[in-house]
Amino acid sequence: MTVLTVISAGLRVPSSTRNVADQLAAAARTSFEAAGRVVDVRFIDVRDHAHEIADALLTGFPSGSLRTALDDVAAADALIVVTPTFQGSYSGLFKSFADLFEVDSVRGTPVLLAATGGSERHSLVIEHALRPLFAYLGALAVPTGVYAATSDFGGPGASALTDRIARAARELSAITAGPAAAVPPPGAAVLAPPEAAVVATPGASRGATPGAAASVPPRLASVPPASAVPDFPEVTPFEQLLARAGH
């Protein structure tokens, strides 16, 4: 069973953001099922948890339906994230929700990033706002982001939007199904058997058999292990540099 959690940060009912989220979820389900995977799709409408989010930010203790939503994020084998664009970035409500994610809860999780906006002027919001956020969180963002402007709904741009959605969904399915580099917890030793390099598949920490592994794809065979990368040279403290300069 593949758990696909869809986060929609639209503020209205109905909303173009939820519309795009529904289309992405349907396309992803089709791609997953075409690959022979059974999908459990879980929707999170962030607006439904707005008051609980504010309370959790102030108290540090998410509860009720918000706790369930955060658990669905952590349990996901794949994520779809859709936010409206405000002031050239993701919505404040969405960011407040993301601020409540547990540490490492989405690390190594494939994620499809999408956004909506009033015009094409905001189309880079995925690249300069969403992608850096999820890179920091350690998620694996698919190459294709989906941005939908008002003109993409029902006009000449509708078919192009449908094509982008289908392409992004296929990428999400491929990344979720294929092997990826394992991300060990902080301080964990990284050991590989001498006869073959192995990696964990995405979502392995969410119910997979302990020790299960997959072969490294050819494109990663030449990548050296972390232990082979030399440490950074010792850095001279800044105050010592100032002293040498006579300051």
Residues 6+ apart with CB under 8 A from 36: none
The segment with the largest mean pLDDT, out of 3-7, 221-225, 234-238, is 3-7
Q: What percent of the chain has pLDDT over 90?
A: 60
Pairing of strands 146-149, 89-90: unpaired
From 7-11, 34-38, 183-187, 193-197, the region with the lowest mean pLDDT:
193-197
Beta bridge partners of 147: 115
Cα 70 to Cα 138: distance, rounded to the nearest angstrom = 16
Peptide bond into 210 cis (omega under 30): no
Cα 113 to Cα 125: distance, rounded to the nearest angstrom = 10
Query: What is the rounded average pLDDT of the residues 109-118?
Result: 96
Beta bridge partners of 44: 7
pLDDT of residue 240: 79
Q: At what angle do helices 64-75 and 50-59 cross, to 10 degrees?
A: 90
Neighbour-count burial of 148, counting CB atoms closer than 10 A to its CB (0-12 exposed, 13-18 middle, 19+ buried): buried
pTM score, two decimals? 0.71
Residues 6+ apart with CB under 8 A from 86: 92
Give one word for 64, left, alpha or beta, with left for phi > 0 and alpha for psi -120 to 50: left
pLDDT at 180 over 70: no
Which band of pLDDT confidence, cut at 50, 70 and 90, is reported for residue 215? Answer: very low
Q: What percent of the chain has pLDDT over 70?
A: 76
Residues 6+ apart with CB under 8 A from 78: 2, 3, 4, 5, 28, 109, 110, 111, 112, 172, 175, 176, 202, 203
Cα 150 to Cα 120: distance, rounded to the nearest angstrom = 8
pLDDT at 179 over 60: no
Which band of pLDDT confidence, cut at 50, 70 and 90, is reported for residue 34? Answer: very high
Query: What is the rounded average pLDDT of the residues 178-192?
Result: 46
Residue 14, Cα to own-chain centre: how many angstroms? 25
Q: At what angle do helices 16-34 and 158-177 cross, to 10 degrees?
A: 50
Domains of the chain: 2-177 (3.40.50.360), 189-247 (no CATH)
